[in-house]
Structure 1
């Protein structure tokens, strides 16, 4: 009896969230989540910023943005290699979108008001995969900060 109750409340109806397609939109969202978690915390300010960015970038409402973020969180957990996620973007989007993605990543990092070395290292790794020159990356970081 206890096992049935535990099974029922643990996953009512046996619902399973499928892994989203690793397309450019979800890869970008997964990188946003990865950037938020780089300092080993995942704060409400960062989550709100991710939802805001997803809504703005994809022209969707806040509920759809939150749903997309949940899909991106799942993709982020299932794809441990940051370079692999960033490579999806590197091949799928142009220079302008790459730069917009880096600004968005820095906005997520800055959302909690605290800077960590882990976040800087992660974003510099992503910048390199996307092929953004270090000088231009610094400009984008400053743009996101201001």
Structure 2
């Protein structure tokens, strides 16, 4: 019975579709989760965040900055990452998920040190986005190679 209800709700949800803003907001929240994991937003992270959103979502700077404001509000009220990764799983393909995780790693290493909470959020996000452990490591290593660490 529960499976039937779940399938019915999923079918209804997919028929209705999701507005592009919801997907952008979900991605922005994931990035904000990383930068706020260590309870401090460095200037480097602050500059990098809108750049990554513009690249990831192909939006302009104004839209990216508005998404960041909205994402910070949603971050405060969120109970789990699942509500955001679920939306992303329905709309993002594998390459988009990998690009998001790469952006998360870039933010985590932006201030020169990796906080354990940042890494936990990235790994949890990767699990929820159905990315393999080897992909997570490969993406992390590519960021390390970029930064020369």
Interval containing the TM-score (normalised by the shorter chain): 0.7 to 0.9
Residue number in structure 2 paired with 1:15:
none
2:135 is paired with a residue whose SS is helix
Aligned equivalents of 2:56, 2:87: Cα separation in 1: 17
Q: How does 1:1-146 map to 2 (within 5 A)?
A: 23-145=22-144, 146=146
Answer yes or no: is the 8 Å Cα contact 1:30–1:85 preserved in 2.
yes
Aligned equivalents of 2:116, 2:44: Cα separation in 1: 19
Residues 4-61 of structure 1: CA distance to partner in whole angstroms, max 9, x if unpaired? xxxxxxxxxxxxxxxxx87221100001000111112122221211100112223333
Q: Please report how far the alpha carbon of residue 91 of structure 1 lies from its aligned counterpart in structure 2 after TM superposition.
A: 2.1
Number of equivalences: 126
Question: Are residues 48 and 66 of structure 1, via their aligned partners in 2, closer, same or farther at CA, if it must alter by over 3 Å?
Answer: same
Answer yes or no: is the 8 Å Cα contact 1:30–1:73 preserved in 2.
yes
Name stretches of at least 5 consecutive residues in structure 2 with no aligned partner: 1-19
Answer yes or no: is the 8 Å Cα contact 2:24–2:67 preserved in 1.
no
TM-score by length of 2: 0.77
The root-mean-square deviation of aligned C-alpha atoms, in Å, is 1.7
Q: Please report how far the alpha carbon of residue 137 of structure 1 lies from its aligned counterpart in structure 2 after TM superposition.
A: 1.0
Aligned equivalents of 1:22, 1:85: Cα separation in 2: 12
Aligned equivalents of 2:129, 2:137: Cα separation in 1: 14
Aligned equivalents of 2:38, 2:60: Cα separation in 1: 28
Residues 58-90 of structure 1: CA distance to partner in whole angstroms, max 9, x if unpaired? 333323321221122122222231222222212
